[in-house]
Structure formats: C-alpha cells, structure tokens
Amino acid sequence: MDHFPGTWGRPRNDVYGAYDPSYLQSTGPKTHTTSPAVTGTSVIGVKFNGGVVLATDNLASYGSLARFTDTKRLRIFGNKAVVGFGGDVSDMQYIDRLLESIDIRENYSSHGNMLNAKNLHTYLAKVFYKRRSEFNPLWNHVLVAGFDGEGKPFLSSADLLGTTFSAPHLATGFGAHLAVPILRRLFPEEKPIEEISREEAVDALKQCLKVLFYRDARSLDKYSIAVITQEGIDLKEDEQLEGQSWAFAERIKGYGAQTV
C-alpha cells in the first residue's frame, strides 16, 4: 500500500523511468539552443572553369533516425547564388526566410538584384557571428557558391561561430574528412581552376557523395546538385546515387560485436 496520497495515480519510476523535472521549470534564465535537433550532414562544393558546383544529400536526421528523406538543403538566392546548408534544419529554414526578405528588398531597387554570392557570404557570416555572440547560435555550417564582384567563381564557407574561409574546394561536416582528400587528389592546388571542366567537377562531387554514403551513417543516396554558371543556376533536387558497389562491405570484419 502506498501511503503517500500525492503519488497516487502518478507514473511510477520503476515502470516509466525517472521523470525529467527540467520540463516543469517555468522560471529561470532564458535558454537558447544548445544543441541541434533535426540535422543535415555534409555539403560539398568545387569551383570549375566558369562556375561552381554544390551538392548535398536530401536527408534530415533526428539524431540517428533518418527523419525526413526529401529535404532540400540547397537554397537559391536571387538567381545568382546558392547556399548549401549543413546542421540544424529549422535554423536553415529561418535563414532561408531571412535571405528571401533580403532578396525582395534588393529587387525593389531599380537596378535589380545587386547582392552577389560574395556579399551574401559576408552577410551570412555576420548573422552567424552576431548570434554566436549572443549565445544563441544558428546551428549551421554553410557553403555559399556563386560569383564575386568581378564575376569570378566564388566558393566560401561560414559556420555557427562566424568562422569563414574560402578554397577552390570545400566540404562541411563529414565531408571535410572524406570528400576533401578526394577533391584534393582530383584537383591539386597547383592546378588552376580554369583547367577543371564542368563535367569533371560534377563527376567529382558525385564520387564524393558516394563515398560519403558508404561511410557516413547519417547520409542518403538521394541528393541535390546545383551548377552555378554565368548563364544561370542548374539545380537538380531529386537525384539518385548511381553505380554503388557494396562488395567491400563483405570484407569488413572485426568491428564492434561482430566476431565472425
């Protein structure tokens, strides 16, 4: 017999597990995002002669759960630039709305849209830096692709801390470990981007996506790819990874609980 009337009818810890009382907190300091929830994995990009290619897969994970399998993580800005998002998907959607309102404002100007990819990257980095300084970060790592003020191909990265850097090929998240070495081998630094064709660049990214799908547990074989040239943006959002070969998996032994 339970002698505590206050406990009658309440879920018991031995049946339901301990209750997390932090949800009951109605007062206390204002809290911010301290970890991402629904996330996208790597973004990869490479410059070629006359443009930039950017690719992501279409997965949004909830922890280890493959939650949404057709999330478009490449966003176009004003027919001039593409932003590829890794990290929190809700923060991505917030930033996308932000960019849309800027695009609308820019188009009110009689001279048309004048913010290029470089300007957009500067702006995004400032937004990220401001939010991190308020301890209220936007949990993303993005690549911005397009052209700079002189019409040269532009590819640059910005992350939740406001850190920025630029290189002929870039990758976020897992891609920084798996894709960048492949890209560096295919397109060595001393090779000028003028010698890289569009086809080579696209093929390289597909190869990287495949390797990522093999080895990144939070990735998908459905992907988006955007080719940005002076003629415009060619965005494909419903692509399927082709030519997979899982033969190597047979030979992998000795990890974790597997003993045979």
Partner 1 sequence: MFRNNYDNDAVTFSPQGRIFQVEYAQEAVKQGSVVVGLVNKTHAVLVGLKRNAEELSSYQKKIIEIDSHMAIAIAGLASDARVLSNFMKQQSLGSKMTYGRPIPLERIVTQIGDRAQTNTQHYGKRPYGVGLLVAGVDEAGPHLFEFQPSGLIHEMVACAIGARSQMARTYLERNLDKFADCSRDQLINHGLRALKETLSQDKELTVDNTSVGVIGLAPEGSKGRIESFKLYEGQETVPLLEALERSEASGTVEDESMEVDS
Partner 2 sequence: MTSLMDHQARETVGYSFSESTASGVKQHGFYPYTDNGGSTLGITGSDFAILAGDTRSTSGYNINSRMVPKVFKIGGDDETGEGANIILSVVGFAADGTALKERLDTVVKMYKYQHGKPMTVSACAQRLSTILYQKRFFPYYVHAILAGLDEEGKGALYSYDPVGSYEREQCRAAGAAASLIMPFLDNQVNFKNQYIPGSGEGHALAAKKAEPLPLETVKGLVRDAFTSSVERHIEVGDNLQMVIITKDGIQEVYHPLKKD
111 near partner 1, rule: CB under 8 A? yes
133 near partner 2, rule: CB under 8 A? yes
d(CA 208, CA 42): 10
Taking the least distance from each CB to partner 1, the nearer of 101 and 109 is 109
Asked if 161 contacts 181 with a C-beta cutoff of 8 angstroms, the reply is no
To the query of whether residue 229 is one of the catalytic residues in this protein, the response is: no
Sign of CA dihedral 160, 73, 76, 243: positive
Tally Cβ neighbours within 10 Å of residue 111: 7
CB-based contacts of 103, cutoff 8 Å, min separation 6: 77, 78, 113, 115
Taking the least distance from each CB to partner 1, the nearer of 120 and 227 is 120
For the bound state, the minimum distance from the C-beta of residue 174 to partner 2, rounded and expressed in Å, comes to 11
Asked if 82 contacts 76 with a C-beta cutoff of 8 angstroms, the reply is yes
Residue from 43, 124, 125, 220 touching partner 2 (CB under 8 A): that is 125
Region binding partner 1 by CB under 8 A among candidate stretches 30-38, 40-48, 63-71, 120-128: 120-128
250 near partner 2, rule: CB under 8 A? no
Give, for 116, the enclosing helix (H) or strand (E): none
Region binding partner 2 by CB under 8 A among candidate stretches 17-25, 79-87, 237-245, 249-257: 17-25
1 near partner 2, rule: CB under 8 A? no
The whole-angstrom distance between residue 41's C-alpha and the CA centroid of its chain comes to 6
118 near partner 1, rule: CB under 8 A? yes
For the bound state, the minimum distance from the C-beta of residue 123 to partner 1, rounded and expressed in Å, comes to 5
Taking the least distance from each CB to partner 1, the nearer of 65 and 114 is 114
CB-based contacts of 202, cutoff 8 Å, min separation 6: 53, 225, 227
145 near partner 1, rule: CB under 8 A? no
Region binding partner 1 by CB under 8 A among candidate stretches 51-59, 111-119, 185-193, 227-235: 111-119
111's contact among partner 2, partner 1, none, with CB below 5 to 8 A by partner kind, is partner 1
The whole-angstrom distance between residue 150's C-alpha and the CA centroid of its chain comes to 27
69 near partner 2, rule: CB under 8 A? no
Pick from 147, 129, 140, 127: nearest CA to 82:
147
114 near partner 1, rule: CB under 8 A? yes
For the bound state, the minimum distance from the C-beta of residue 107 to partner 1, rounded and expressed in Å, comes to 12
Cα–Cα separations (whole angstroms), residue 64 to 40, 67, 71, 177:
11, 9, 16, 20
> Catalytic one among 33, 122, 164, 229?
33
Q: Which of residues 162-201 bind partner 2 (CB under 8 A)?
A: 162-167, 170, 176-177, 180, 189
Strand order in the sheet with 43-48: 169-171, 43-48, 51-57, 222-229, 232-240
Query: Hey, which residues are catalytic here?
Result: 33
